[in-house]
Amino acid sequence: MHAPTTMDRTAPRLGQGFVWQDLQVGQRFRTFRRTVTETDLVQFIGVTGMLEAIFIEEGYEGAAMPGRAVPGALTYALIEGFILQTMIQGTGLAMLELHQKILAPVVVGDTIEAMVEVTDIRPTSRSGRAVVTSRIDVFNQNAVLVMTYTATRLLAGRG
């Protein structure tokens, strides 16, 4: 077998997300799990400037729970990373709307994962795109629901 001289653009792309036509209302997906580390927390608060005492001070006396609290925004960002890398890579065009509720704390050392359920698909009149809404429920290692949010995104279609 000889080496190709050009890239075969017809070969399937590894890691390509779903086009909206591959999804259906009621379809559910489970993300990978991930343990939130001290490094995750330190880098996140450094990049975002969330230098709130509850996040940067070990044993902060005003904390409502034991352990190093993790901002809800970090929990959300980690789950969105899973969704981007697997479900909408190359097909997600825009985040249009987001409604989020934080239900329980996440602390350094917790392991999080999510269940994604497609709740609505509305094709648009432009370029075969669709507005896709999903409910994302985030759980910790003890199966406690720590966050729930609804994301409405613009997804590409076939052709």
**Can you give the pLDDT of all 159 residues of the chain as single tens digits?**
777 778 888 877 778 899 999 999 999 999 999 999 999 999 999 999 988 888 887 777 777 777 889 999 999 999 999 999 999 999 999 999 999 999 999 999 999 999 999 999 999 998 899 999 999 999 999 999 999 999 999 999 997
Q: What is the pTM of this model?
A: 0.90
Instruction: Find all residues with CB under 8 Å of 108, minimum gap 6, and list them.
Output: 36, 37, 38, 40, 41, 67, 68, 70
Amino acid 58: pLDDT = 77
What are the residue ranges of helices labelled H in 18-71?
38-48, 53-56
Helix/strand/coil percent split, the chain, to 5: 20, 35, 45
**Strands of the chain, DSSP E:** 28-30, 34-35, 92-102, 111-123, 130-139, 145-155
d(CA 68, CA 59) in angstroms, rounded, equals 8
Amino acid 8: pLDDT = 82
Amino acid 12: pLDDT = 76
Q: Residue 112, Cα to own-chain centre: how many angstroms?
A: 11
138 token code pair: 């985030």
- Whether 109 contacts 35, CB under 8 Å: yes
Amino acid 41: pLDDT = 95
pLDDT tens for residues 17-53?
Answer: 999 999 999 999 999 999 999 999 999 999 999 888 8
Domains, the chain, with CATH or none:
20-155 (3.10.129.10)
